[in-house]
């Protein structure tokens, strides 16, 4: 007999997106350009030359999209605010029409019984701030706090949970170390600076929030647990470095007030000594932690892999998604229990989890089957339930993504949505995974049993 699955009372079921990935109309109504606008319009940066110019056209279709969320039974929606819509220059003059879009979104969500969960930074830095050094300029902590204050003044009467940053690791690794994401820099010397300024900006935003806001604020990190490919000393050391770099680089400073000691080992002379007072700013108490979980990595030592001297080893027996990520639900359990143990069991929201797979064409207005995504969803929600049973304090789950969208430099080629989007017509069609997710929400997990 299978055990009956039931999530805690009040568990928040939702779905997530981000501004540049879905909105389109990036320069409409007085918005300033972002670094993604520039990056996507630089030849050679984007798969197939795709851009966010139209994306899912959500900026113009927002009310219909919220109606789809209601039809799915979502209790929450995590979206991001495009900083350059609200402050076209990044600081200074507010653009009321940009702010108005997010106010209408929040009001429409609430009118449909859906809790808004805005993320203030999901990678689309105003280009005007990049011109002033972007994440390398220490002044960015103040710029980000100013922007946070504008948003909080306007919407904290209606928003109960705010997120400062989405995945600072990806901002740094993709944007400043390897250059695959905006602003496309490749520098071992810049990456540690960007990381540190992201953390200071997060701390400054939390501080600004405490002065103005009455509800909750947290940060979102992506966690990919690392497992050693063998017990050799070299593989174990490589695994420890990879774990520190990806999974502890941000959480240790936020919760424990110090970087993992491995950071110096990884970056060598490029890792600066940071002023002690910075950690006072970074270590502001947060109300919850947002965790994005997609995959794990089995790690072995390989000396020509920069900067970690570590390589992820493919597991022949496993299923891989279209982004090349191993499906490994036990890693989700391990991640949540590790957070519980290392950081004092903070309240956690799963702010992203999902998979890109090939989808069969829409037939008679239906995407009949997306079996691999259905399987991924089932396995990960069962794993999440097991982690909660084992004591992890998880309060909600947001599926990534509400709809197929611009998968950053991979363009529209990778589909993560539970709603299928036909990018030629903008028609949204629920996939089988969306139907299953609706049943799971309606039964608070029961439909997984
Ligand atoms: C990001 C999303 C992205 C997803 C899938 C996360 O790293 O927050 O914006 O689309 O993963 O790659």
**Residue 3 CA to ligand 1 centre (angstroms):** 32
Active site residue 6: no
CA 309–ligand 1 middle distance (angstroms): 25
pLDDT tens-digit readout, 368-420: 799 999 999 999 999 999 999 999 999 999 999 999 999 999 999 999 999 99
What predicted TM-score, i.e. pTM, was given to this entire model?
0.98
Q: What are phi and psi of 389, to 5 degrees?
A: -60, -35
Residue closest by Cα to atom 12 of ligand 1: 407
- Measure 254 CA to ligand 1 centroid, in angstroms: 22
pLDDT at residue 1 is higher than 70: no
Which protein residue's CA is at the shortest distance from atom 10 of ligand 1? 407
Give the C-alpha separation, 392 to 11, whole Å.
Answer: 13
**Distance from residue 277's CA to the centre of ligand 1 (Å):** 32
**pLDDT of 113-125, one tens digit each?**
999 999 999 999 9
352 catalytic residue (yes or no)? yes
The pLDDT, as a whole number, for residue 2 is 60
* Residue 18 Cβ contacting ligand 1 at under 6 Å: yes
Say if ligand 1 is within 6 A of residue 438 CB. no
- The answer to whether the CB of 34 is under 6 A from ligand 1 is no
Task: List beta partners, residue 399.
Answer: 15
pLDDT tens column, 425-441 = 999 999 999 999 999 99
Q: Indicate if ligand 1 lies below 6 Å from the C-beta of 17.
A: no
| Angstrom distance (rounded) from CA 348 to CA 339 | 9
Helix (H, G, I), strand (E, B), or coil: what is residue 227?
strand
Q: Are 77 and 110 in contact (CB under 8 A)?
A: no
Any atom of ligand 1 within 6 Å of the Cβ of 115: no
Question: Does ligand 1 lie within 6 Å of residue 220's CB atom?
Answer: no
| Interval between CA 357 and ligand 1 midpoint (Å) | 14
Q: Directed axis angle between helix 329-343 and helix 371-389, to 10°?
A: 30
What pLDDT, on a 0 to 100 scale, did the predictor assign at position 364? 80
| Half-sphere exposure of residue 64: CA atoms within 13 angstroms, side-chain side | 12
Compute how many other C-beta atoms are within 10 angstroms of the C-beta atom of residue 436: 19
Indicate the pLDDT class of residue 367, thresholds 50, 70 and 90.
confident
Choose one of 22, 55, 124, 170 to mutate for the ligand 1 pocket test, by most ligand atoms within 8 angstroms of C-beta: 170
């Amino acid at each position: 007999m299978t055990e009956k699955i039931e999530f805690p009372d009040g568990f928040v079921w939702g779905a997530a997106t981000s501004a540049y990935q879905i909105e389109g109309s990036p320069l409409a109504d007085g918005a300033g350009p972002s670094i993604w606008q520039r990056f996507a319009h630089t030849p050679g940066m984007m798969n197939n030359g795709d851009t966010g110019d139209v994306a899912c056209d959500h900026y113009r279709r927002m009310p219909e999209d919220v109606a789809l969320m209601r039809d799915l039974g979502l209790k929450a929606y995590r979206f991001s605010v495009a900083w350059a819509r609200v402050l076209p220059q990044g600081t200074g003059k507010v653009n009321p029409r940009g702010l108005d879009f997010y106010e209408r979104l929040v009001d429409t969500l609430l009118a449909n019984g859906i809790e808004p969960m805005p993320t203030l930074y999901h990678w689309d830095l105003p280009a005007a701030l990049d011109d002033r050094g972007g994440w390398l300029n220490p002044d960015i902590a103040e710029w980000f706090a100013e922007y946070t204050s504008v948003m909080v003044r306007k919407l904290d009467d209606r928003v109960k949970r705010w997120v400062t940053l989405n995945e600072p690791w990806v901002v740094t690794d993709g944007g400043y170390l390897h250059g695959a994401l905006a602003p496309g820099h490749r520098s071992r010397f810049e990456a540690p600076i960007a990381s540190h300024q992201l953390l200071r900006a997060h701390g400054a935003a939390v501080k600004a929030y405490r002065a103005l806001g009455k509800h909750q604020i947290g940060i979102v990190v992506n966690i990919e647990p690392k497992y050693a490919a063998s017990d050799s000393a070299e593989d174990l050391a490589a695994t420890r470095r990879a774990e520190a770099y990806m999974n502890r680089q941000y959480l240790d400073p936020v919760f424990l007030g110090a970087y993992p000691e491995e950071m110096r080992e990884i970056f060598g002379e490029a890792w600066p000594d940071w002023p002690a007072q910075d950690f006072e700013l970074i270590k502001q108490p947060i109300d919850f932690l947002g965790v994005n979980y997609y995959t794990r990595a089995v790690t072995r030592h390989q000396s020509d892999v920069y900067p970690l001297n570590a390589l992820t080893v493919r597991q022949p027996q496993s299923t891989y998604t279209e982004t090349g990520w191993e499906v490994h639900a036990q890693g989700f359990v391990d991640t949540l229990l590790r957070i519980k143990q290392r950081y004092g069991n903070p309240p956690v929201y799963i702010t992203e989890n999902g998979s890109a797979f090939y989808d069969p064409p829409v037939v008679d207005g239906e995407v009949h089957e997306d079996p691999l995504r259905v399987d991924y969803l089932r396995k990960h929600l069962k794993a999440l339930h097991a982690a909660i049973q084992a004591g992890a304090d998880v309060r909600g789950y947001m599926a990534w993504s509400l709809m197929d969208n611009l998968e950053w430099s991979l363009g529209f080629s990778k589909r993560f949505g539970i709603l299928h989007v036909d990018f030629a017509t903008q028609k949204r069609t629920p996939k089988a995974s969306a139907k299953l997710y609706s049943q799971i929400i309606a039964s608070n997990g029961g439909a997984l049993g």
